[in-house]
Structure 1
């Protein structure tokens, strides 16, 4: 793998992890389409670490406020009195469905990553989610009005995102819109509720680094890590700004076209 390919992998991971177009789908399909060398475990671990750094850097103020509120609430024996503390518990609750299913069926989901066709179909499903979410977008519910049921439903959509091609952010934003959240709130909560899952995947990938043999020069790994972190941070900022004034339809069109074109080319 060349330095340019390593940087490209970092850019793909950084952009597609947070835009509602599926990072896993792209990491499966693009190497298959352009005959890019498959990244080794060290590179995969580092680009996941890069996106983890991006989301922690962007939301550090929110996370600090949540952590202080949770600890303060426990100290006062009033764990749910503060809105930030409540948000912290909802973030954890929303991660439970995907965490349980992911652990119980890890081998099954890992096998799906060997099939570009599954990833292409997943992109079509993501497109449907985004369109349906926009069609259901009638609400103005804010985070302080989010219920336990809302959180469990939104979090359950992260289970579907274990399949390559189904976007975690796309599916959870669509679920949030369906539960009455306005678009900016749905996008913000999508990132927050997905943070434990992103952190878990990032930490597992980082652990893989220590059990794998790197096959690339150190400069390749560093470049991919930096690219994933910078592009990831910019894409979080872009999406949160975009949803204030625009719909998710352009992302739905992109996912549908990408998935359909791949399926058509494989048939022809």
Structure 2
């Protein structure tokens, strides 16, 4: 990993920021891009090794991505954290902010427990190019099927109440989700432990199938992803200061800056994109990219 140069760090960082939020799987691209490029990239950037220095590098990128989400949704998180504090203090769940805070807690528990128990096993056994390509194809199928089934589902329309702006209105709509639906949407994140399956993609599909609009499904997906990505990164931050991070602190910083910038631009684009558009282009991309990568890897 000491051979990781700044070009690799910046390119991988930019990819991480975009693919973590676009419904195309950041882990899948972290596995496939080095394998397809080959040569030094394939040697330096191996995420499946039991004690992977590349994984330690990716930790910094995850923290940067979560930071970008926190900055973009800062007003939402002020309301959500404030709602959590008041609900605990007064032992109540009455306001939209208090309810949304607890919905996020409930929806985060399944992936939190599964991540602690299964992340290492899935990454080391399945975090290889061929399985990642196959799962990327599966991700495309999930997005396509989700869109097709969603068209037969009546979208739940919830009144925004006395909202003062569009963001508050969106949070109020999300706060009216039944706890069971929120848990099912959050539980879909467990599938993202498989390299090639997108966290934002599967949670959006789950949201669409539970009656959310594309815009609200994307928003809820990003809010759910923030604590999960941040916690996953923070738990492994010590690796950056141990043997796995030796000699790459500069590359981690460069990659993290690239990841922060690209993630911020990605979430800004996607929150507007899903106001009127669907997951279908991403379904086509994942299917074609996964098929091309699988063909390339098996024919080499």
Per-residue deviation, 1:85: 1.0
1:45 is aligned, of 54, 59, 65, to 59
Q: Distance in 1 between matches of 2:147 and 2:250?
A: 43
Give 1:73 deviation, angstroms.
Answer: 2.6
2:142 to 99, 113, 129: 129
Pick one of 89, 103, 106 that aligns with 1:90: 103
Q: Is the 8 A contact 1:40 1:215 kept in 2?
A: no
Query: Equivalents in 2 of 1:220, 1:105: separation in Å?
Result: 28
The partner residue of 1:26 within 26, 29, 43 is 29
Match of 1:105 in 2: 118
CA contact (8 A) 2:23 2:282 kept: yes
Q: Does 1:55 align with 2:98?
A: no
- Summarize the alignment of residues 167-182 of structure 1 with structure 2, pairs less than 5 Å apart: 167-182=198-213
8 Å Cα contact 1:41/1:208 also seen in 2: no
In the superposition, the TM-score normalised over structure 1's length comes to 0.93
Q: Could you say which residue in structure 1 is the equivalent of 2:241? A: 210
Question: Residues 215-267 of structure 1: CA distance to partner in whole angstroms, max 9, x if unpaired?
Answer: 54544222111000010111011111100111111111110011111112233
Judged with a 3 Å threshold, the aligned counterparts in structure 2 of structure 1 residues 77 and 97 are, in CA distance, closer, same or farther, namely closer
Cα distance in 2, alignment partners of residues 200 and 77 from structure 1: 26
| SS of structure 2 residue aligned to 1:231 | helix
Deviation at 1:61, TM superposition (A): 1.0
Sort the Cα spacing of 1:249 and 1:231 in 2 relative to 1 into closer, same or farther, 3 A.
same
Structure 1 counterpart of 2:89, from 53, 62, 75: 75
Partner deviation per Cα, 1:182-230 (whole Å, 9 max, x = no partner): 1100000011122221111111232221223435454422211100001
1:166 aligns with 2:182: no
Distance 1:8 1:178 in 2: 35
Which residue does the alignment assign to 2:160?
none
Q: TM-score, normalised by structure 2?
A: 0.84
> After TM superposition, what 4+ stretches of structure 1 lie above 4 angstroms from structure 2?
215-218
Runs of at least 5 residues in structure 2 that lack an aligned partner in the other structure: 46-52, 158-172
Residues paired across the two proteins, number: 267
Q: Give the CA deviation at 1:41.
A: 4.5
- Root-mean-square deviation over aligned CA pairs: 1.7
- Gaps of at least 5 residues in structure 1 are none
